[in-house]
Structure 1
Amino acid sequence: MGRVMFVILLWLSAGTLLSVVRGEDPYLFFTFNVTYGTISPLGIPQQGILINGQFPGPNINCTSNNNLMINVFNNLDEPFLLTWHGIQQRKNCWQDGVAGTSCPIPPGTNFTYHVQVKDQIGSYFYYPSTAMHKAAGGFGGLRVNSRLLIPVPYPDPEDDYTVLIGDWYTKSHTTLRKLLDSGRSIGRAEAVLINGKTAKGDGKDEPLFTMKPGKTYKYRICNVGLKASLNFRIQSHSMKLVEMEGSHVVQNNYDSLDVHVGGCFTVLVTADKVPKDYYMVASTRFIKSVLTSKGIIRYENAKAPASPDLPKAPLGWAWSVNQFHSFRWNLSASAARPNPQGSYKYGNINITRTIKLVNSAIRTKGKLRYALNGVSHVDPETPLKLAQYFEIPDKVFKYDTIPDIAPSDVADSLSVQPNVLNITHRDFVEIIFENHEKTMQSYHLDGYSFFALAIEPGRWTPERRKDYNLLDAVSRHTIQVFPKCWAAIMLTFDNAGMWNLRSEHAENRYLGQQLYISVLSPERSLRDELNMPDIQLLCGLVKNLPKPAPYT
């Protein structure tokens, strides 16, 4: 034990010294020990995925520009990856932790991620991107605080709390995967959890959080579930929204917030009510059989129980669309990003390319598949980025397997293959998500934040651009698309690499509703993209190939 501590101290000291010598941003070191363990979130023992013995996993607390060295030991019986949801990984898709960029960590081995939270602030989370592991846990909060020199547009809160909400299945992740592999859906969840628990309301529940009367607290609320959009609210308390997915927003008060899968909100809550217990409540939206979970917030030294009368969630998706319209980017707030004062006038930039993605659900050979523009993505044995880096892409995938604008008969055709779009470095692109289905959709793009311009009912046409918010749309990384609706985003593809655009609904993603966007630098230059790390895991066709010449 003494020798291990000595080695760790040497490692830390070397990292600290290196930071000083090179003038680098600070390094933080984490060890994640991934194991199976017995959990009982609903009072029934089941197998869960623990990180350092915890469910949910430990919070990562860091500051803008910090370098995170996360050493992940995979003690499961199958390959494993973690993805850092919303962390942009500037010029470094090697650390993204998805099948298109990384070989999974084999059982009984470890891999060290080097993640830099460059020019970012806000509330994020991490989760397993392999198989259906997320259904068993393995997720945790990731908060990025502003540097002390950067003013935040609200007073420092008394404390900072992470709230991970999500739907939950009692079936194991292996059972859910077998259902999908057999061509069936995983169906609806059995429960909703708040930080891995749900209060019974029998007077024996321990509080999730405590508050001092008169003080204001920061709550970071993220939907880490598999399928269900959730409405979140706190008994008798309003929530002041201050940040969402890395952007400070115009500060409005809300009685409840719809949090879609993959989305995160940061709110301020003031303990200005009668000192007692209060319930925070999360319930499913847009499905007939509503599932509800609750957790206790306790005023310090209070003994009165929470009222059993829970605040009700709103009805219908039109209310949720209107709430989306109320979100505005705070153009006067400082931030971690360049041009924080709203000087980035995205509405005045000429669109280089328009891509319209239509999702579809089709049965092929009796098995359910999900697709974008008629292509259902499948991960090849050789990660896409590795095939590209080793200059053998033609042996693994084809570029531009889908048209930019979905054909009218997209719901009637399907091909199963790697789905890769090639986008020119630094092009300014408009992406439309059009949902012809009766189910809710939620999309996430790795490596970027984008401007969420509009969500409207019906079909998109170029004339609908008049509905865009071209002034203060929130810069974020997930976007929901309601049934029979469309959503529009814009962004500059200035982050070279191979980036995953996926449905955040685990079933849809697993069965093909995702694609990869290749953003190649014109030159193999370190100015635009980092070299493949020396410790990168290799697999598939590149496992025994000589490494290409590095970028210079």
Structure 2
Amino acid sequence: MDTRKLGFFTLLLCVSTTLVNAEDPYHFFEWKVTYGTMSPLGVPQQVILINDKFPGPVINCTSNNNILVNVFNNLDEPLLLTWNGVQHRKNSWVDGTPGTMCPIQPGTNFTYKFQVKDQIGTYYYFPTTAMHRAAGGIGILQVHSRPLIPVPFDNPADEFAVVLGDWFNKGHKSLKNILDGGKSIGRADGVHINGKSAQVGAAVEPSWTFEAGKIYRFRFCNAGMRTSVNFRFQAHDMKLVEVEGSHIMQNDYMSMDLHVGQCLSVLVAADQPPKDYYLVVSSRFTKQIHSTVAIIRYAGSNIPASHELPPPPVENVPGVAWSINQFRTFKWNLTASAARPNPQGSYHYGQINITRTIKLINSRNYIDGKLRFAFNGVSHIDRPTPLKLSEYFGLADKEFKYNTIPDEPPDDVGKNIQLAPNVLNATYRNFVEIIFENRENTIQSYHLDGYSFFAVAIEPGKWSPEKRKNYNLEDAVSRHNVPVFPGCWAAVMTTLDNAGMWSLRSEMWERFYLGQQLYISVLSPERSLRDEQNLPETQLLCGIVSNLPRPAPYV
């Protein structure tokens, strides 16, 4: 037997022997990551497949389940996968970012083991190495509530996982070469729905089938590179029920904006005359509008869809204002039972004193003629040794300095950019406020690993302390991504109670790759298993820690 498989089955045996006393089920997956040829926009090109699929397999699980994914890297480059939105309580070892993990080398495998602890909702996974995200390796992870915990809507007849995003006809290696050469990758060539694109009237097979009178749940994620999208169903309204792991107060929408990195769930009632209908997806805030469609077919019908499509957001309201207004309609459902920080609605985040304010201003500039992106004038660079590993082995002072980035941006932010590993040293269990201020003319989208945060405000202009009077301190949605519109700021609040090293980043992957990211180091003073898991025995080691003895484990 392949020694890699033997190691995995040995791990399964070890896990199985402990299940007698375990409360939470385990789900085992074996993924083979390979190259393949597909035509998302009609142009054949190399894509990244998982088990010969793009999008990759759906991980379907329940709150508190344990997930083991044995990833075989059959690419010709190192690979990492991250689990966008999964909080990995006390376990940044499997976060899947270059600052936390050594990559899986070509021809080898690694088993991710994590628990979807106290979470429900819609998330997605994708590769963080090189520009692999532009080629695929992406799929959806959907976490259900436990059977005995009621959700605030009836069980749908079926659920559909839908990956949306922009797409480039240049291959991922060409895009990487462009960025390495100091230039921008430019605008995308189109948008796709689950790796496919079609235009109205094209002869394509239906993507989903409805039975009249039933209700269906669509889980959408924008896993693109840089483009916000809008989606809408022909002749059908949507009821928004979940945003990034939070049940929300339910409203009906005719169309929804979905920014890069974000996920949500809608319910759609099959209440129209039986025939075909289009799901329409179009780009937002782009000079050239790209669009695509997919077909929903009512069972037993052979009537084609009408060519008259539902319109994009109303034209007499500027697009940014329309999208901000939609964001403000999202309110957390405080009475819904779910796995979340306050199952009884008792977590009053608005009454907690802020202990630290971190204000981040994004910028772009050139260093030696090459394009870079930054937070507060610092553009992150990765080290050969993942930051988390060098910190755990007591070698942080050899690899990086804490707090290179200031909490308050300098007056001349954006004029000068320095290259450095970008690590903030945070205090365990502090309640922090993070301000994202966007002085550029393009929309931004930011994500924080390891946490959900309360997105309490988005407003035009520049942030100042008196703006706190406009915060939603009662029912802001607990989520892990926030859009920041041109000339606007966004405020989020969270408790840093998850020990580890966590990525805070731009979800626009060109910006991430060229430095608009940082890591938040949250160390527990106790250094105990109560607060953080030990370095797993199976963890890959690289860089300066490759051949070092492992530190004494936490107890």
State the TM bucket, normalised to the shorter chain.
Answer: over 0.9
Q: Give the root-mean-square deviation of aligned CA atoms.
A: 1.7
- Could you say which residue in structure 1 is the equivalent of 2:97? 98
Q: Distance between the aligned counterparts of 1:214 and 1:470, measured in 2?
A: 39
CA deviation string 1:412-447 (max 9, x = no partner)? 111001000011000000000000000110000000
Aligned residues: 551
Deviations, residues 61-107 of structure 1 (Å, cap 9, x unaligned): 01100110100000000100000000000000001000000000000
| 2:490 counterpart of 1:500 | no
Percent of aligned pairs with the same amino acid: 63
Aligned partner of 1:49 in structure 2 is 48
Separation in 2 of the partners of 1:202 and 1:469? 45
What SS does structure 1 have at the residue aligned with 2:343? coil
1:546 pairs with one of 515, 530, 549: 549
Match of 1:393 among 390, 393, 396: 396
Q: Deviations over 1:251-291 (max 9, x none)?
A: 00000110000001100000001111111011111111000
Matched, 1:268 2:254: no
Deviation at 1:201, TM superposition (A): 3.5
State the Cα deviation string for residues 24-52 of structure 1 (Å, max 9, x = none): 41111001100001111222211000000
Counterpart Cα distance in 2 of 1:461 and 1:38:
50
Are 2:8 and 2:70, in contact at CA under 8 Å, matched by a contact in 1? no
Q: How far apart, CA to CA, are the structure 2 residues paired with 1:222 and 1:60?
A: 14
Q: Residues 199 and 296 of structure 1 are in contact (CA less than 8 Å); yes or no, is this contact kept in structure 2? A: no
Code of the residue aligned with 1:15 in structure 2: it is: V
1:319-377 deviations in Å (ceiling 9; x for gaps): 00000110000000001124213210000000000010000000111110000000000
SS of 1:324's partner is: helix
Match for residue 311 of structure 1?
A: 310
TM-score (norm 1): 0.98
CA distance in 2, matches of 1:76, 1:442: 29
CA distance in 2, matches of 1:143, 1:515: 27
Amino acid at match of 1:177: K
| Partner residue in 1 for 2:415 | 412
- Within 2, Cα distance between the matches of 1:4 and 1:535? 12
Question: How far is 1:10 from its partner?
Answer: 8.1
- Aligned pairs (5 A) from 1:372-521: 372-521=375-524
Q: Does 1:370 align with 2:373?
A: yes
1:144 and 1:419 map into 2 onto residues whose CA distance is: 32
Q: Do residues 15 (structure 1) and 18 (structure 2) align?
A: no
Give the SS at the match of 1:323: helix
Q: Partners of 1:472 and 1:414 in 2: how far apart?
A: 38
Question: Aligned partners of 1:10, 1:112: CA distance in 2, in Å?
Answer: 12
* Deviation, structure 1 residue 397: 0.5
Q: Which residue in 2 is equivalent to 1:127?
A: 126
Which residue number in structure 2 is paired with residue 536 of structure 1?
Answer: 539
Aligned counterparts of 2:524 and 2:86: Cα–Cα separation in 1: 21
User: What is the one-letter code of the residue matched to 2:73?
Assistant: N
Q: Residue 416 of structure 1 aligns to a residue in which SS?
A: strand
CA distance in 1, matches of 2:5, 2:372: 50
Q: Distance in 1 between matches of 2:113 and 2:388?
A: 17
Bigger CA drift: 357-366 or 305-314? 305-314
Q: Distance in 1 between matches of 2:520 and 2:404?
A: 11
* Separation (CA, whole Å) in 2 of partners of 1:95 and 1:8: 16
Distance 1:6 1:414, change over 3 A: closer
Mapped to 1, the partners of 2:141 and 2:322 lie a distance apart of 29
The 2-side partners of 1:526 and 1:152 are apart by 33
* Paired residue secondary structure (2:525): coil
CA contact (8 A) 1:375 1:417 kept: yes
Name the CA shift for 1:259/1:382 in 2 (closer, same or farther; >3 Å): same
Structure 1's consecutive aligned runs of 4 or more residues displaced over 3 angstroms after TM superposition are 1-17, 200-203
- The verdict on how the C-alpha distance between 1:275 and 1:400 changes in structure 2, with shifts beyond 3 A counting, is same
Aligned equivalents of 2:8, 2:515: Cα separation in 1:
42
The equivalent of 2:68 in structure 1 is 69
What's the CA shift for 1:15? 3.4
SS in 2 for 1:391: coil
Rounded to whole Å, the distance in 2 between the matches of 1:383 and 1:547 is 15
- Alpha-carbon separation, structure 2, partners of 1:55 and 1:402: 38
Counterparts of 1:177 and 1:5, CA distance in 2: 32
After alignment, is 194-203 or 225-234 more displaced? Answer: 194-203
Is residue 527 of structure 1 aligned with residue 530 of structure 2?
Answer: yes
Amino acid paired to 1:360:
S
User: Is the CA contact 2:201–2:307 (under 8 Å) kept in the aligned structure 1?
Assistant: no
**Secondary structure of 2:338 counterpart:** coil
Displacement of 1:551 after TM fit? 0.6
* Matched-pair contact (CA < 8 Å) for 1:98–1:129: yes
What amino acid is the match of 1:388?
A: E
Distance 2:266 2:386 in 1: 38
Give the CA deviation at 1:466: 1.1
Question: Structure 2 CA distance, aligned partners of 1:13 and 1:224?
Answer: 35
- Within the alignment, does 1:167 sit opposite 2:170 as a pair? no
Q: Within 2, Cα distance between the matches of 1:3 and 1:42?
A: 40
Question: For 1:159-205, what per-residue CA distance to the aligned partner results, in whole angstroms no more than 9, with x for missing partners?
Answer: 01111100000000000000001110000111100000112434521
Give structure 1 stretches of 5+ with no counterpart: none
| Residue aligning to 2:360 | 357
State the shift of 1:307 in Å.
1.1
Q: 1:327 aligns with which of 325, 330, 336?
A: 330
CA shift, 1:17, in A, is 3.8
Q: Which residue number corresponds to residue 297 of structure 1?
A: 296
- Residue number among 319, 330, 336 corresponding to 2:339 in the alignment: 336
Asked if 1:176 is matched to 2:179, the reply is no
- Distance (whole Å) between structure 2 residues aligned to residue 6 and residue 50 of structure 1: 24
* C-alpha separation in 2, matches of 1:457 and 1:75: 47
